[in-house]
Amino acid sequence: MQRRALIAAILAAIVAAFALPALACSCVQFSRARDQLRAADVMFIGRAVRSERDWFSRNTIYTTFTVEESLKGDVPRRVRVAQNDRTACAVQSFEPGARVMLLANRDGQRLLIGPCMFPHFPEAEYRAALRSRYQ
């Protein structure tokens, strides 16, 4: 009987270990580009320059981008974006020179990205949403 309880406890711990990161990855599922765009403070297209880990907060990765086009909000020509890598799903890798479309939220002076703000729709759908917003 004790053996069964021990096996059950071990299995429960294993399931919990794998379930917690999955729960941390959950976020609102946007059904339209317009809805995701509404949730973001800024959107831009740019090229990754470099990524670096914050030495004081080892959970934060900063990526610097050269902005080619600002689609929503004020974004400087060169911008540094932060992302937290505490969860397995939260990190997006950016190769230097890669052209990317980003949606981000402001946290004071910082721009933050995370799995809920990764683009889930084609660029054309975001552009259509932006056009309808201003017409």
For the domain 33-134, what is the CATH code? 2.40.50.120
Contact status, residue 115 vs residue 123, Cβ threshold 8 Å? no
Q: CA 118, CA 116: separation in Å to the nearest integer?
A: 6
* Burial class (CB within 10 angstroms; exposed 0-12, middle 13-18, buried 19+) of 50: exposed
Predicted model pTM? 0.75
* pLDDT per residue rounded down to tens, the chain (135 residues): 666 544 444 444 443 334 334 445 667 789 999 999 999 999 999 999 999 888 777 778 899 999 999 999 999 999 999 988 765 565 678 999 999 999 999 988 889 998 778 898 999 999 999 988 754
